Chain A
Amino acid sequence: MADPRPEITATPAAPQAGTAPSERARALRDLYFQTLSSASLEFPYWYTRKYRELDGEIPIVRRAAALKHAFSHLTCTILPGEKLVGGKTLHYRGSFPMPWLSEGYFTTKAAELAGAAAAGAQAGGDEIAQFGTGGGNVTRSFGQVVSIAGKFGLRAGDLPALLQLARDWEGRSVEDVARRYEAKMPDGAVKDEIMRSLVCMFDSGYTLPQGREVANYFFPLQYGYDGLIEMATRRRAEVAGRADGDGVTGMDRLYFYDAAILVLEGVREWHLHYAAEARRLAGFTRDPACHRERTELADRLDHIARHPPRTFREALQMCFLAHIAVLNEDAISGLSPGRLGQVLSPWFEQDLAAGRLTEDEAVELLELYRVKMTCIDCFASMGVVGGVLSGNTFNNVSLGGLRANGEPAANRLEMLFLEAGMRCATPQPTLTVLYEEKLPEEFLLKAVECTKTGCGYPAWVNNRNAVEFLREQFGPEGMTLEEARAIAIGGCLETSPCAWHTLTLNGRSYEIPGGAGQPTSVGVHFVANPKVLELVLFDGHDHRLGRRVLPPHGRALATYDDLWEAYRRYYEQVVDVLTRANNIQHDVWRKQNMAVFHSLLKPDCLARGRHIGHLGYRYNATFNVESCGQVNLVNSLAALKSLVYDGKRYTLDQVRDALRANFGYRTAQETGNFSMAAQERRPDAAPHLERLHADCLRAPKYGNDDPAADGILQEYETWFCAMCRNYESLYAKPLYSCQISVSTHGAQGAATLATPDGRLAGTTYADGSMSAYPGTDRHGPFALFTSATCWDHTRSQNSQLNLKLHPGAVRGLAGSRKLLDLTRAYLRQGGFHIQYNVIDSDVLREAQKHPERHRDLLVRVAGFTQYWVEIGKPIQDEVIARTEYQTL
């Protein structure tokens, strides 16, 4: 089949790059800057009410009916100026709790929240004037607004309803049920200690059960919601009462299709409510152009509520609302639209040819899409939203890559995605280039220009590595090379299995990619590598909490090999208990809280009549072990090997004493500084601690092409990537390695004593997994690349390397070519991922002092871009401290 998509260079010149967003997009983004993160209760109220009413119903049908009830009762808000509409709730930046997943926070904090509401009611409303300072996080209660978890605002009048909802789910939420069964593991108490000590900090089964995966919009785009309802109705009739050879789940197909119909009806009604609201808004204006715009919007919404989209505008709107519907069904972080520029290209191309759309109009729509995606919030606990995610939602659009036949897949619309990302810089969607040598130079240079604006995106991912990893991981489930080429990134950097679908539009056929696998945010997340080393050195004891975490290993640690052996045994013990606990959590989740809408969007649930929990997805081996702080671990092992075991300059006990004394420094919590850049010695610190600390800092460090450190990294990776596969998910698939930190290097660093590499207590770890610890990469980026690629990155789902460049290092066209060459050099050496902060550190320091002047400042953290003012101080300190390359 000849691919009808236009060549990049065969279309009119792009709008001038780097200019400001359209007035409309600017106004809506400015409104976002002034908007508070807001929680509401419509969805959980109507969901809970229907769920209670249907006691005794088949679980998936009961849940689907509750979802339908919730969708069809949501208030649909459209604000003046919006051409692309929809949201999770009635608020512009809205979200809501899902007490059926976890309600414990609200029940335990009930008195505190009620007190905050009462106190807030007496406070002056002038505090509202602080909007914008510190971003949209509602960090404290004011007026009639209660702060929930330091992040979300809730109307004080809604608080009693929130607490009642929590009580309604007490003992029945996924968290409560899973905890009951986790406790039946013989070492369930060890798991609790691991979580308490922050050796691990994420129970995915009842916080964010799905995410870091790629969405799939094909089915509604191809068949429309009416078509899907018809399809499910037909299949329901075919399977009712038949096992068809599957004595375990064959009969369940009836209930799945019944549930699918219910949810689809709810989503359809939700669309129609938006259409009605658009029509109502048309009645408010006397301006004929505005009236026409709103009426056309209503017509589009009416159409896509039932039918496949006819135009680019309709297709984009449908994708956005489908995305939101998935996010409303379950607590999800990192639902990535995938290769959306390739998914939407058929409509874009045909609209351009028919004169229904111009490129300028397309860019404006993509700018509006950026603003709407940035409005997405995720309601979870403070520890998860703040400590793990830095408030980010990781909606990653992948660009480039290959088609199924191996030809480059970059297209003209993807150039416009980059253009919109440059004109309208926002955290969402972040962009990732799936780098292939075959990709057109024009496309790659456009991506470089985008990176140079300082927005932090696109990230650069080695497509070859990703394809190789996918074939290895999903080959047993039938993945071919052609299918592996459908790859997109889910969440920050998670290589995710996808599939090709044949889409027909006006008689022409197109192959479009879409997600085909389970979430990858699930499994053992995140294990703090330096904290495990701390437990090894202190025989399982956590000195910060004064508690035993792991049973004593009882080893003398007399040799380096003994230390390394003890480390691996402790780590494996941690992964083993966490895997089993996580399996229980997700098993409860799939029995009580299974995805219905999300399931039917991905192959092959509709065809098989199985939801995600019954392995309806085409690819299911996605659970993984995610590590954090591995560079600090490697540097610490290198220091111990050099100073204690090989050099014998210090005894292990001397090092232990120094770590407990924080090398004579105040802790990060005491100073309020969370990087090594600004630490204070205690005036009474013993002099020998200073010498020992200096030696630790001088010990071999990763990132300098030094075999003394890189050999340890190589040994670690060889063990780690193989070790993960020894554990089995609830779907009876082997786990694999995942190596990104998100923001946990801040939170888990805060819980870790000083480490033998010289890092001080409470300071952040190195970000990512391949980034050097700030200030320790002293031989330039190419030495760093050599260190980073001393192991085979295709053995892991990902790795992560962040570089901070001064804008002067990449100025002009020559600078662009240097940056592209630098990127190529790393990826050609076998690196998986590289991304850049192109920013002057002085700007960051100024922004830390005066956040109110920098509401729109974006930085790249670790796989995601976020507003500076919305990230916590530990991560701010870490980003400032990162090594800044002045030249290339």
Chain B
Amino acid sequence: MSVTLRHSHCRHFAPVDVAKGICLLTERPVMIDTPPCAEFVRAPSCGTCSRFRPPAEGSLGRCEGLPDQAWTWPDLSALHCEQYQPAIPAPEPEKETAA
């Protein structure tokens, strides 16, 4: 499942709203839908978990980490998920300086 990396995927990103946040490295505002910089660190989410099963079609996948095997989706934060296991190595971001 291909993923276009965004600032909101980065652990250094503090969300402000659905369009923007603040980079904790620079403490400057960044727009979510812009490519992250070279300091990018992938934040845990269902989409990066080894227990996530992507959908055959549609947008919702399945979590096999918890007993209920419930539906979930790739962008859901897994920061506090007790069964999170990182699976996908962070793709190499575009080389840009910190925003």
**Interface, chain A (partner B; CB < 8 A):** 31, 34-42, 45, 49, 52-53, 72-75, 77-80, 90-94, 125, 128, 131, 136, 138, 143-145, 153-155, 157-158, 160-161, 164, 273, 281, 284
Evaluate contact between A73 and B81: CB separation under 8 angstroms: yes
Q: Report the minimum CB–CB distance from A382 to chain B (whole Å).
A: 18
Residues of A near B16 (CB, < 8 A) are: 31, 34-35, 79, 91-92
Evaluate contact between B80 and A144: CB separation under 8 angstroms: no
Evaluate contact between B17 and A93: CB separation under 8 angstroms: yes
Residues of B near A91 (CB, < 8 A) are: 15-18
Q: Knowing that A42-B77, A72-B80, A153-B18 touch, tell me 13 more A-B residue pairs with CB under 8 angstroms.
A: A31-B16, A36-B18, A40-B18, A42-B76, A73-B80, A91-B16, A92-B15, A128-B20, A131-B19, A155-B18, A164-B60, A164-B71, A284-B24
Evaluate contact between A80 and B24: CB separation under 8 angstroms: yes
Residues of A near B60 (CB, < 8 A) are: 160-161, 164
Q: A49-B70, A158-B73 known; A79 and B22 CB under 8 Å? A: yes
Evaluate contact between A273 and B80: CB separation under 8 angstroms: yes
Most chain A beta-carbon contacts within 10 A, residue among B16, B60, B77: B16
Evaluate contact between A144 and B33: CB separation under 8 angstroms: yes
**Interface, chain B (partner A; CB < 8 A):** 12, 14-20, 22, 24-25, 27, 31-33, 58-60, 66-68, 70-77, 79-81
Quick one: closest A residue to B11, CB to CB? A280
Residues of B near A154 (CB, < 8 A) are: 18
Quick one: closest B residue to A153, CB to CB? B18
Residues of A near B81 (CB, < 8 A) are: 73
Residues of A near B14 (CB, < 8 A) are: 77-80
Quick one: closest B residue to A75, CB to CB? B77
Q: Could you say which of B17, B24, B32, B59 contacts A92, with CB atoms under 8 Å apart?
A: B17
CA distance A74 to B80 in the complex (A): 7
Residues of A near B58 (CB, < 8 A) are: 160
Q: A42-B77, A45-B72, A273-B80 known; A128 and B59 CB under 8 Å? A: no
Q: A41-B76, A128-B31, A158-B73 known; A77 and B67 CB under 8 Å? A: no
Q: Report the minimum CB–CB distance from A451 to chain B (whole Å).
A: 32
Residues of B near A153 (CB, < 8 A) are: 17-19
Evaluate contact between A77 and B15: CB separation under 8 angstroms: yes
Q: Report the minimum CB–CB distance from A421 to chain B (whole Å).
A: 25
Q: Could you say which of A38, A52, A74, A125 contacts B17, with CB atoms under 8 Å apart?
A: A38
Residues of B near A158 (CB, < 8 A) are: 73, 75
Q: Could you say which of A73, A125, A160 contacts B73, with CB atoms under 8 Å apart?
A: A160
Residues of A near B31 (CB, < 8 A) are: 125, 128
Listed A/B pairs (14) with beta-carbon separation below 8 Å: A39-B18, A53-B67, A53-B68, A73-B81, A79-B16, A79-B22, A80-B24, A92-B15, A131-B19, A136-B17, A155-B18, A160-B59, A161-B72, A161-B76
Q: Report the minimum CB–CB distance from B95 to chain A (whole Å).
A: 22
Residues of B near A52 (CB, < 8 A) are: 68, 70
CA distance A49 to B73 in the complex (A): 13
Q: Report the minimum CB–CB distance from B80 to chain A (whole Å).
A: 5
Q: A41-B76, A45-B76, A157-B59 known; A143 and B70 CB under 8 Å? A: no
Q: Report the minimum CB–CB distance from B18 to chain A (whole Å).
A: 4
CA distance A419 to B72 in the complex (A): 48
Residues of A near B70 (CB, < 8 A) are: 49, 52-53
What are the 7 tightest A-B residue pairs by CB atom distance, in nearest-first order?
A: A160-B59, A153-B18, A36-B17, A38-B17, A38-B18, A80-B27, A53-B68
CA distance A70 to B22 in the complex (A): 25
Evaluate contact between B68 and A281: CB separation under 8 angstroms: no
Residues of B near A79 (CB, < 8 A) are: 14, 16, 22
CA distance A135 to B38 in the complex (A): 34
Q: Report the minimum CB–CB distance from A195 to chain B (whole Å).
A: 31
CA distance A31 to B16 in the complex (A): 9
Quick one: closest B residue to A152, CB to CB? B18
CA distance A281 to B25 in the complex (A): 10
CA distance A179 to B32 in the complex (A): 41
CA distance A345 to B9 in the complex (A): 43
Evaluate contact between B77 and A90: CB separation under 8 angstroms: yes
Q: Could you say which of A36, A41, A74 contacts B19, with CB atoms under 8 Å apart?
A: A36
Q: Report the minimum CB–CB distance from A74 to chain B (whole Å).
A: 7
Residues of B near A144 (CB, < 8 A) are: 32-33
CA distance A836 to B68 in the complex (A): 56
Q: Report the minimum CB–CB distance from A247 to chain B (whole Å).
A: 37
Evaluate contact between B76 and A143: CB separation under 8 angstroms: no
Evaluate contact between A143 and B19: CB separation under 8 angstroms: yes
Q: Report the minimum CB–CB distance from A121 to chain B (whole Å).
A: 10
Q: Could you say which of B18, B25, B68, B71 contacts A284, with CB atoms under 8 Å apart?
A: B25
Q: Report the minimum CB–CB distance from B70 to chain A (whole Å).
A: 5
Q: Could you say which of B67, B73, B79 contacts A157, with CB atoms under 8 Å apart?
A: B73
CA distance A52 to B67 in the complex (A): 12
Residues of B near A284 (CB, < 8 A) are: 12, 24-25
CA distance A304 to B26 in the complex (A): 30
Q: A128-B19, A161-B73 known; A75 and B68 CB under 8 Å? A: no
Q: Could you say which of B20, B24, B68, B77 contacts A49, with CB atoms under 8 Å apart?
A: B68
Quick one: closest B residue to A159, CB to CB? B59
CA distance A92 to B19 in the complex (A): 12
Q: Could you say which of B72, B75, B79 contacts A155, with CB atoms under 8 Å apart?
A: B75
Residues of A near B79 (CB, < 8 A) are: 75
CA distance A158 to B15 in the complex (A): 15
Evaluate contact between A143 and B33: CB separation under 8 angstroms: yes
Residues of A near B71 (CB, < 8 A) are: 164
Residues of A near B74 (CB, < 8 A) are: 157
Q: Report the minimum CB–CB distance from B59 to chain A (whole Å).
A: 4
Quick one: closest A residue to B16, CB to CB? A92
Q: Report the minimum CB–CB distance from A549 to chain B (whole Å).
A: 40
CA distance A718 to B80 in the complex (A): 58
Residues of B near A161 (CB, < 8 A) are: 59-60, 72-73, 76
Q: Could you say which of B33, B59, B66 contacts A125, with CB atoms under 8 Å apart?
A: B33
CA distance A21 to B10 in the complex (A): 33
Quick one: closest A residue to B74, CB to CB? A157
Quick one: closest A residue to B67, CB to CB? A53
Q: Report the minimum CB–CB distance from A164 to chain B (whole Å).
A: 6
Residues of A near B22 (CB, < 8 A) are: 79-80
Residues of B near A94 (CB, < 8 A) are: 17
CA distance A544 to B59 in the complex (A): 43
Q: Report the minimum CB–CB distance from A268 to chain B (whole Å).
A: 14
Q: Report the minimum CB–CB distance from A141 to chain B (whole Å).
A: 11
CA distance A41 to B46 in the complex (A): 14
Quick one: closest A residue to B6, CB to CB? A144
Quick one: closest B residue to A93, CB to CB? B17
CA distance A34 to B79 in the complex (A): 27
Q: Report the minimum CB–CB distance from A47 to chain B (whole Å).
A: 12
Q: Report the minimum CB–CB distance from B9 to chain A (whole Å).
A: 11
Most chain A beta-carbon contacts within 10 A, residue among B15, B20, B25, B81: B15
Residues of A near B18 (CB, < 8 A) are: 36, 38-40, 91, 138, 145, 153-155
Residues of A near B15 (CB, < 8 A) are: 75, 77, 90-92
CA distance A784 to B15 in the complex (A): 50
Residues of B near A72 (CB, < 8 A) are: 80
CA distance A93 to B68 in the complex (A): 32
Q: Report the minimum CB–CB distance from A119 to chain B (whole Å).
A: 16
Residues of B near A80 (CB, < 8 A) are: 14, 22, 24, 27
CA distance A143 to B15 in the complex (A): 17
Residues of B near A125 (CB, < 8 A) are: 31, 33
Evaluate contact between A75 and B19: CB separation under 8 angstroms: no
Q: Report the minimum CB–CB distance from B16 to chain A (whole Å).
A: 5
Residues of A near B19 (CB, < 8 A) are: 36, 128, 131, 143, 145, 153
CA distance A36 to B15 in the complex (A): 11
